């Protein structure tokens, strides 16, 4: 799906497919350098990180493993509740592994800060974070992402894996959702 397919539901496009692809090329090269000689385990946060995982992992030159974790985040709304629990845990024992968390967006930071400390408690060799997007103005808690695609304004965005109420994940680019879409419901 492209933005032209849903003109009434979006305010504007924030990132084109091409911008996303170019950025992932750049970051994958950096990851190749940083993890040279190490075996990487990518951990994707379901379901927003699915597109990032597919496109980033395929750009990395060395063999790696992929696992997934599902945690509760926003439910149907657009603001973080801060209540986090694991809905689906990893299959992999991450002890002594080099872990790179793959996430779509770093907003308040509550999710990634919680996830990073949860994974750290399992004894990995290292834990770092990749996030395609971050909203610096929305940060409530300090959390350092080693790889950041783009800083974006504090607006609710959809597409390229990011959803509103499970919709819009199949939009090819990233766009600001029209507030009418979520104010109508609440
Ligand atoms: P945080 O805990 O506030 O950092 O939120 C992180 C999670 O909230 C992300 O993994 C997303 O699933 C979701 N989220 C935050 N901002 C947006 C947005 O603008 N659009 C869609 N999902 C978002
Ligand atoms: Mg997410």
What is the DSSP track for the chain? --GGG-GGGEEEEEE-HHHHHHHHHHHHHHHHHHTTTS-EEEEEEETTTHHHHHHHHTT--S-EEEEEEEE---TTSSS------EEE--SS--TT-EEEEEEEEESSSHHHHHHHHHHHTT--SEEEEEEEEE-GGG--S----SEEEEE--SS-EEBTTB-BTTBSTT-SSEEEEPHHHHHTT-
Non-local CB neighbours of 55 within 8 Å, separated by 6+ positions = 20, 21, 24
pLDDT number for residue 84: 85
Domain ranges of the chain: 18-155
Test site for ligand 1: of 104, 140, 181, most ligand atoms within 8 A of the Cβ: 104
In three state form, how does the secondary structure of 116-160 look? HHHHHCCCCCEEEEEEEEECHHHCCCCCCCCEEEEECCCCCEEEC
Q: Which atom of ligand 1 is nearest to the CA of 108?
A: 3
How sure is the predictor about 117, in pLDDT bands with cuts at 50, 70 and 90? very high
| Residue 72: per-residue pLDDT | 86
Report CA 52 to chain centroid distance, whole Å: 7
Residues with catalytic annotation?
Answer: 107
Q: Is the pLDDT of residue 73 over 80?
A: no
Select the CATH number that applies to the domain covering 18-155 from these four: 3.40.50.2020, 3.40.50.1980, 3.40.50.2300, 3.30.559.10. Answer: 3.40.50.2020
pLDDT of residue 185: 57
| pLDDT above 80: residue 80 | no
- The tens digit of pLDDT for each residue in 99-116 reads 999 999 999 999 999 999
Instruction: Give distance in angstroms: CA of 107 to centre of ligand 1.
Output: 5
The yes-or-no verdict on residue 27 having pLDDT over 70 is yes
CA–centroid distance, 121 to ligand 2, in Å, is: 21
Q: What is the pTM of this model?
A: 0.94
pLDDT at 172 over 80: yes
């Amino acid at each position: 799906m492209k933005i032209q397919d849903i003109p009434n539901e979006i305010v504007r496009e924030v990132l084109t497919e091409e911008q996303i692809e170019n950025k992932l090329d750049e970051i994958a090269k950096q990851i190749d350098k940083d993890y040279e000689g190490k075996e990487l385990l990518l951990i994707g946060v379901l379901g927003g990180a699915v597109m990032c995982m597919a496109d980033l992992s395929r750009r990395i030159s060395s063999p790696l493993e992929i696992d997934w974790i599902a945690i509760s985040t926003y439910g149907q709304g657009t603001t973080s509740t801060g209540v986090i629990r694991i809905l689906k845990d990893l299959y992999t024992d991450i002890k002594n592994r080099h872990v790179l968390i793959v996430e779509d967006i770093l907003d308040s930071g509550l999710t990634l800060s919680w996830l990073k400390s949860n994974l750290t408690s399992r004894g990995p060799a290292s834990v770092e974070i990749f996030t395609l997007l971050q909203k610096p103005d929305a940060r409530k808690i300090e959390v350092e992402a080693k790889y950041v695609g783009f800083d974006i304004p504090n607006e609710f965005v959809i597409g390229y894996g990011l959803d509103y109420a499970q919709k819009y994940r199949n939009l090819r680019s990233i766009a600001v959702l029209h507030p009418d879409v979520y104010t109508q419901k609440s």
